[in-house]
Amino acid sequence: MSLALCALSHTPVMGVHQPADDVVDRVQAAIDDARKFVVEFDPELVVVFAPDHYNGFLYDLMPSFCIGAAATAVGDYGTSGGPLPVDGSAARAFTAAALERGVDVAFSERMTVDHGCVQPLDLLFGGIDAVPVVPVFINCVAEPLGPVGRARLLGEAIGSAAVTLDRRVLLLGSGGLSHDPPVPRLAEAPPEVAERLIAGRNPTPEQRAARQARVFDAALAYAAGTTDLMPLNPEWDRRFLAVMASGDLAQIDSWSNESFVEQAGHSSHEVRTWLAAHAALSAQGSYEVRSSFYEAIPEWLAGFGVTTAQPRRS
Ligand SMILES: O=C(O)/C=C/c1cccc(O)c1O
Ligand SMILES: [Fe+2]
């Protein structure tokens, strides 16, 4: 058995509205390097810790966490769509391990995932069919959210089960870092938007296209500085990355949900996926960061990070 980690931001604006060429080149180099790391590790299973953006999980039934034993991708924003090659027995083992450790995960034999789960698979593996996966949903958008430390405990539980497998397991975290994209919030939503957040699965192609166009337009306006969306926070991002690299993950338990929003934007909660992935990696002992890239990219609406890490070699 062995574990490895790759955590990276996702943004559907990538490739649609680009920052300067030199920025794109640096991001591409970081992704290429992460892909090289993953190819060399040659994972036999990929555990994807990812948020959802009201495509699979809505307010009609919103868990804090859900492990999927079967899953289908909606294929939003041009990401791969269709069934994922989920390892159902590994998913059930991870679920049992989490419940045994007092982390009350939900479990799904028919999970739906979106770009949050699929974009990293597309970027690192060229699609969703390359390696068996276990998708692990972490609620990062639908308030109220539990304390951030619960994601750490989830990761530790899944990691404790992953290290017992006689397989190479890649822990993939997807999201963040600081960002405040125009994702609607139930508390402020007008009735028709509230209905979509509660029960708006399977939008029509026209509805999905309109939603995606709104995000693309927001990205253009954000880069031009003409929106009231919160600024990216490189200082906060770098502080978060330093905590992940330190291995002392429990210190983040004191970061209140309010502080995430106030300092790093409503969708900065997506870093819970990074936290869970690093906590899972820690199940194999202390770890070392092999590579860390970060750049604030307003054109993509995100503080964009790419990290690879592995158990510390003695
Ligand atoms: O369409 C959505 O709901 C979200 C889009 C988005 C935009 C920028 C950064 C992200 O992490 C996103 O999920
Ligand atoms: Fe997201």
pLDDT tens, per residue, the chain with 314 residues: 699 999 999 999 999 999 999 999 999 999 999 999 999 999 999 999 999 999 999 999 999 999 999 999 999 999 999 999 999 999 999 999 999 999 999 999 999 999 999 999 999 999 999 999 999 999 999 999 999 999 999 999 999 999 999 999 999 999 999 999 999 999 999 999 999 999 999 999 999 999 999 999 999 999 999 999 999 999 999 999 999 999 999 999 999 999 999 999 999 999 999 999 999 999 999 999 999 999 999 999 999 999 999 999 87
Q: How far is the C-alpha of 172 from the C-alpha of 124, rounded, in Å? A: 10
Identify which of 16, 44, 14 has the alpha carbon closest to the alpha carbon of residue 30.
14
Token pair listed for 56: 């699979």
Q: For residue 67, which of 111, 7, 101 has the smallest C-alpha distance?
A: 111
Concerning whether 115 is annotated as a catalytic residue, the answer is: yes
Tell me, in angstroms, the distance from the centre of ligand 1 to residue 179's CA.
9
**pTM greater than the 0.90 cutoff:** yes
Report CA(51)–ligand 2 centroid distance (Å). Answer: 7
Q: Which of 11, 16, 17, 52 to mutate to test the pocket of ligand 1 (most atoms within 8 A of CB)?
A: 11
What domains are there in the chain, each with its CATH number? Answer: 2-311 (3.40.830.10)
Could you report the predicted ipTM of this complex, rounded to two decimals? 0.97
Residue 238: burial class (beta carbons within 10 Å; 0-12, 13-18, 19+): middle
- Ligand 1 centroid to 281 CA: how many Å? 26
Angle at 234 between CA 229 and CA 235, to 5 degrees: 120
